[in-house]
Structure 1
Amino acid sequence: MKKRNIILLALCALLIIVPFVISKEAPFEGADAEAEELITEINKDYEPWFESLWEPPSGEVESFLFAFQAAAGAGFIGYFVGKKKYDKGNKSAC
């Protein structure tokens, strides 16, 4: 089992590292920036419907908030699934 875990961790690391190695000069932007660029290229007169209520002070803060949101969601889902599985297991033992 331990060997399997090491192999899975190595594969995860490769999935993270390989894109940076393959395309060193590529701009790693989010989909929002690319979509905005494409829209203005298609329609020069396009105006956004609204502006953000709050603009993060830097890209690092924005990335942190995005990662925190993803981690909180994953934690909630993991807790919920684990709790359901645990509760189900205990009911059959009673």
Structure 2
Amino acid sequence: MDTQAKTKKGSSAKLTIILLLLVLAIVIVPQVIKSGAEFGGADGEAEAAITEINPDYEPWFSSFFEPASGEIESLLFASQAALGAGIVGYYIGATRTKKKMKENQKEEK
């Protein structure tokens, strides 16, 4: 490995560590600042606002599937998020690999 590749790899590792620390800060800081707060979703807030504005409001339709409990609903939501993150991660990884393979082919010529 030449020094340029080592420098690039070292700066990449530093950037990764900095980004991971930033993600941890984004997750932890709100929990510390608002330790007793309840973190709810936007759906509940929207429903409360609509009911406050128009108490007689009736939704256009209802859900065709209602999970048995809040825990199951959270599990389904987390599974959907994990699947989406996996697809995005795969795409990014495949794209980067293709780019590196093209660069390596150009260097060999």
Task: Confirm or deny that 1:47 pairs with 2:66.
Answer: no
CA drift at 1:27: 2.1
Task: Confirm or deny that 1:15 pairs with 2:26.
Answer: yes
Structure with max Cα Rg: 2
Task: Confirm or deny that 1:75 pairs with 2:100.
Answer: no
C-alpha distance in 1 between matches for 2:101 and 2:16:
28
The runs of 5 or more residues in structure 1 that have no matched partner are none
The total of aligned residue pairs comes to 94
Task: Give the CA RMSD over aligned residues.
Answer: 2.3
CA drift at 1:77: 1.6
C-alpha distance in 1 between matches for 2:65 and 2:94:
36
Change beyond 3 A, Cα 1:20–1:73: same
The range that moved more, 69-78 or 6-15, is 6-15
CA drift at 1:33: 0.5
Deviations 1:10-34 (A, max 9, x none): 3322221221221233221100000
CA drift at 1:36: 0.3
Under a length normalisation based on structure 2, what TM-score does the superposition of the two structures give?
0.69
Change beyond 3 A, Cα 1:26–1:50: same
Under a length normalisation based on structure 1, what TM-score does the superposition of the two structures give?
0.78
CA drift at 1:52: 0.9
Name the structure 2 match of 1:66.
77
DSSP 3-state at the match of 1:52: coil
CA drift at 1:60: 1.9
